[in-house]
Amino acid sequence: MTPDHISLHNKQFEPYLSAAELQAAIKQVATQLNQDYAGQPVMFVVVLNGSFMFAADLLKEVSLPCEVCFIRVASYQGTNSTGEVKEVLGLTEDLKGRHVIIVEDIVDTGHTMRMLLETLGKQQPASLEVATLFLKPECLQHELALRYVGLSIPNDFIVGYGLDFDGLGRNYPDVYKAV
């Protein structure tokens, strides 16, 4: 049962997207990936920490031969993007000549994604795409060609389903927005 509100670090949140709505969006992204990469091996690069739930559910729906690896980057402090991206945990896999999909929980300013696309692109993958559960189009500060977007949402601060507020809130199966 979904609580009618949650409190994290003295900030209030109300229900925004249900687990069922999230799963429908994830299935749509997986269907598109399965069609676009039919029969081709794919390397999924999952951006931690926020993408862990999305990645787990997305990969359950993907029927492609695939590998999964993880990278950790940080660009948030509290509810705001710092505008500065720091790579915390690097990628050790060789991406040259491979089809690579970056799995991200949310793209808002685009700073993190721009840095990741530039960094991973230097390894000369056969293709490099992004699969994001959420996109905040009005926040984008960089032009990004995003082919796999689960949901476009307004500029609300959200938590749950892997997304956090200073470490709390990732464990909720639904998504909540700040009140």
Q: Does residue 174 carry a catalytic annotation?
A: no
Q: Give the active site residue among 57, 105, 108, 174.
A: 108
Contact indicator for 105, 49 with CB cutoff of 8 Å: no
Long-range contacts of 70-76 (CB under 8 A, 24+ apart): 70/45, 70/46, 71/45, 71/46, 71/47, 71/116, 72/47, 72/48, 73/47, 73/112, 73/115, 73/116, 75/111, 75/112
Question: What does the alpha-carbon distance between residue 64 and residue 84 come to, in Å, rounded to a whole number?
Answer: 34
Question: What does the alpha-carbon distance between residue 157 and residue 136 come to, in Å, rounded to a whole number?
Answer: 10
Q: Which residues does the annotation mark as catalytic?
A: 108
